[in-house]
C-alpha cells in the first residue's frame, strides 16, 4: 500500500488506478475447469454439482458473445461456477434442452436457497439465464455491496480483486467469441478465473455480509429486452424447474 492510500477494514485500499492495476502480476486459475456440454454424462453432472454445493457458496458469472452492431443481442453463451476446489463451465449455447432429466442437479443447484451465489452484477446475469434458458437462480449476493461495505471506491471485479489480493485479472478474452465451436484454453482460463475470483472475494469479505445484501428470488422485469440471435429469433428454452 502506498503512503497516501487509506486502508480498508480488510487491509486493502480504497481504489486503484488503471496504471497501477496494469503493473500487477497476472493471476492464474489454480484449478482445471470442467466443461459441461451436451455430451456430458449424468454421473459427472451430479458429481460436480455436489462438489459445488459443499462450501455453501459459489462464485457465479456469465459470458455472452459481443455484439458490434446496434440492435443485435445474443443469448448468454457460458455460465461459470466455482468454489474452493471446483470450477465448472456450462456451455449454455451448446446444450439443447435444460429440461432434460440429466440437468436436474444443475437446476437444483441454481435454484437452491441453501447455496449462496456471488458475483458482480449477478442479478442481471441470473435474469439473463432465466430469460434465455428457463434456468432459475435464487439466493444471490452482488459483491459490490461487500466492497462498498469495506470502504472501497471501485465496482469492477478486476479492481476489487486487485485491492484485496494484489494481483490482476486479465481481461484479454472478454470480447472474444463465446459461441465458437470449441473454447480456447485462454477463454477457459479467463472464464473460470472470473468465477473463482468472485468466490475468493466473498471469502475475504464475508464478515461484512448482512441479510439485506442477499436477494432470495430474482424478479423479472419488463424493461429487459429479449436477447436475440442475429436472425431475430429469440433463443428461449423454457422448462419446468
Summarised one tens digit per residue, pLDDT across range 88-108 is 999 999 999 999 999 999 999
pLDDT above 60 (res 223)? no
Helix axes 157-165 and 185-205, enclosed angle (nearest 10): 60
Q: Which residues, 6+ apart, have CB-to-CB distance to 93 below 8 Å?
A: 75, 76, 77, 78, 178, 179
Mean pLDDT of 23-48: 97
Give the pLDDT confidence score for residue 67 in this predicted structure. 80
Name which of 9, 102, 108, 112 is nearest 57 in CA terms: 112
pLDDT, one tens digit per residue, over 167-176 is 999 888 887 9
- Position with higher pLDDT, 30 vs 222: 30
Amino acid at each position: 500500500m502506498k503512503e497516501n492510500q487509506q486502508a480498508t477494514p480488510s487491509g486493502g485500499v480504497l481504489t486503484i488506478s488503471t496504471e497501477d492495476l496494469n503493473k500487477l502480476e497476472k493471476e492464474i486459475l489454480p484449478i482445471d475447469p470442467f466443461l459441461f456440454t451436451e455430451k456430458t454424462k449424468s454421473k459427472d453432472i451430479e458429481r460436480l454439482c455436489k462438489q459445488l454445493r459443499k462450501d455453501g457458496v459459489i462464485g457465479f458469472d456469465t459470458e455472452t458473445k459481443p455484439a458490434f452492431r446496434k440492435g443485435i443481442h445474443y443469448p448468454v453463451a457460458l455460465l461459470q461456477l466455482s468454489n474452493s476446489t471446483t470450477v465448472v463451465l456450462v456451455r449454455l449455447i451448446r446444450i439443447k434442452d435444460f429440461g432434460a432429466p440429466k440437468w436436474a442437479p444443475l437446476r437444483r443447484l441454481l435454484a437452491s436457497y441453501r447455496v449462496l451465489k456471488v458475483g458482480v452484477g449477478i442479478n442481471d446475469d441470473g435474469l439473463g439465464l432465466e430469460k434465455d434458458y428457463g434456468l432459475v437462480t435464487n439466493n444471490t449476493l452482488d459483491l459490490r455491496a461487500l466492497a462498498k461495505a469495506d470502504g472501497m471506491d471501485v465496482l469492477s471485479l478486476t479492481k476489487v480483486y486487485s485491492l484485496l489480493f494484489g494481483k490482476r485479472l486479465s481481461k484479454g478474452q472478454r470480447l472474444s467469441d463465446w459461441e465458437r465451436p470449441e473454447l480456447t484454453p485462454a477463454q477457459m482460463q479467463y472464464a473460470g478465473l472470473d468465477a473463482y475470483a468472485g468466490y475468493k472475494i466473498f471469502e475475504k469479505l464475508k464478515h461484512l455480509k448482512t441479510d439485506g445484501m442477499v436477494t432470495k428470488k430474482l424478479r423479472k422485469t419488463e424493461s429487459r429486452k429479449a436477447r436475440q440471435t442475429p436472425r431475430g429469433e429469440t433463443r428461449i428454452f423454457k422448462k419446468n424447474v
